[in-house]
Structure 1
């Protein structure tokens, strides 16, 4: 059940081009956590009608207030306003929203994050207690955010950059293929990032017969499935809402040619 809370900013730092914030969120996690991969809907400024959806990076039940971290880039007026908030400021936050990844704490997963799709994969790494392998991708070294956090919470971390400035020179799907060729012992592939990346990762996972879940990135309006802004085309011809039915889907559900 989603709850709305006034949440205080208790830490804030710049991580590359992104802003890393930790919020005190009352009992939000205890009341509405389902699985890693959910998001929060944040009111950004008094004059802006629509909230901004931000993926949850990691969260922790605590007393008296649960703690939740978000990582975001400035992409427009709303996120610019959010990036300007300071320690001690309060935010109007609705969450936790959406359906996260279907994974088991004792499972072993291959986590794939691209660009600003990297942060939500950290929650998956923490949830599975250090057994996961993470593959992180970006245009260049400075776009590979949170690498040190993943190294603390994963058995292995691999990186890929478009320009070759860090790790593999190329795209993440090449590393996914290499990892699955060497190790078939994964319970699944979990991915978040741009749609072309997700399509390529899903294709590789299917070739190896490994279940794959993808977190889709779409613009959102209401955040509760009442509008059509975040509609996503499915392989069976139907349309689902990323905010209500997702953001995580089985990769076989998605119409990758739409």
Structure 2
């Protein structure tokens, strides 16, 4: 797949919550080529970070030639991103990753938690059949993600750890109910590792294919540093998350 290095221009950047931000930027080449599941590497000129930072693509507007990134402030790099203003420019590399989500016809269940939901937004918009979406959060305040899926989901389910909204418990607790009430053909999941593992196991038990979007620390993003490799559970080979993924068959990872 083609990847590009271009100068992106910020068109909007602001908070969704106290710690989660949404960034829109004009990056024509990346926007034209991006597929659901791919990511970009960002470098902010003149900031006190050395390595590029990887971020999943949450959306693409081909007409406006823009991409959307949703990120949580967790350190120096994302603190610097939150300071970007309209018109600011930065270096962007992408779209990266050869392993992408399937967009074949059929009913897909999307399961996500935290900022892992961001790439699933892009996927929901590209699927030919409206998906069933399961959003997991610690509490009611973390369910703002449902707003991003509302237009593209056939039905939305929510779970919260504290029971303040939807079903009480982790997201995987709702999977059996969803599978009983919908003719699901495959599952796509992105979020905390423990959540992805349990969803992938539930999918395997139900005889359903499951795609997982793996998150690993990356130094280069292009398969050179070998810092993001893992050993396949199927064939024992080592795969690079940045180039072979980030989306894999759940059986490969768990």
The TM-score by the shorter chain falls in which range? Answer: over 0.9
Please give the alpha-carbon distance, in whole angstroms, between the structure 1 residues aligned to 2:49 and 2:217. 15
Please give the alpha-carbon distance, in whole angstroms, between the structure 1 residues aligned to 2:112 and 2:198. 13
Which runs of 5 or more residues in structure 2 are unaligned? none
**Dislocated runs of 4+, deviation >6 Å:** none
After TM superposition, list the pairs within 5 Å mapping 1:148-187 onto structure 2. 148-183=147-182, 185-187=183-185
The CA deviation string for residues 57-104 of structure 1, in whole angstroms up to 9 with x for no partner, is 011212xx5111000011211111111111111121101111321222
TM-score w.r.t. length of structure 2: 0.93
SS at match of 1:69: strand
After TM superposition, list the pairs within 5 Å mapping 1:108-127 onto structure 2. 108-127=107-126
Please give the alpha-carbon distance, in whole angstroms, between the structure 2 residues aligned to 1:103 and 1:209. 19
The CA deviation string for residues 214-250 of structure 1, in whole angstroms up to 9 with x for no partner, is 0011111000011122112310322211111111000
Please give the alpha-carbon distance, in whole angstroms, between the structure 2 residues aligned to 1:146 and 1:20. 12
TM-score w.r.t. length of structure 1: 0.92
Give 1:203's aligned residue. 201
Please give the alpha-carbon distance, in whole angstroms, between the structure 1 residues aligned to 2:193 and 2:186. 19
- Residue-pair matches, total: 249
Give 2:31's aligned residue. 29
Instruction: Tell me how far 1:130 sits from its aligned partner.
Output: 5.7
SS at match of 1:221: coil
CA contact (8 A) 2:45 2:90 kept: no
CA gap of 1:253–1:229, structure 2 versus 1, over 3 A, is same
CA contact (8 A) 2:14 2:82 kept: no
| RMSD (Å), alpha carbons | 1.4
